[in-house]
Amino acid sequence: MNTYRSNTIFPCLVAETKELAESRGFTGSCTDETGRLLSVLTGQVKGGKILEIGTGFGVGSAWILSNIQPDVQFVSVEI
């Protein structure tokens, strides 16, 4: 029997961006808890746009994109 552990299972894009950020020594990415909340909240947006400011290596973006509705536009801004 497989046991689901929410703190160990990540969408593929999230895992990849976390690995990239960690390999570059970037410590400013959102936490897993914050990312999961972003995913749930942005998944409830029906139409329109979502803007992220301060993307870093894209961990937060990956969480958002993991659950975004098809008719929602996502815009990300970084220096």
Q: Is residue 73 part of a domain?
A: yes
The model carries a pTM of: 0.87
Compute the residue count for the chain: 79
Closest residue by Cα to residue 57 from 33, 21, 31, 9 = 21
Q: Is residue 23 part of a domain?
A: no
Ramachandran angles phi, psi of 78, nearest 5° = -140, 155
Q: Is residue 64 part of a domain?
A: yes
Name the band, by pLDDT with cuts 50, 70 and 90, for residue 79. Answer: confident
> pLDDT of 11-58, one tens digit each?
999 999 999 999 999 999 999 999 999 999 999 999 999 999 999 999
Q: Is residue 58 part of a domain?
A: yes
Q: Is residue 49 part of a domain?
A: yes
Boundaries of domain holding 34? 30-77
Q: What is the pLDDT of residue 6?
A: 61
Residue 74, amino acid = F
- Domains in the chain, number: 1
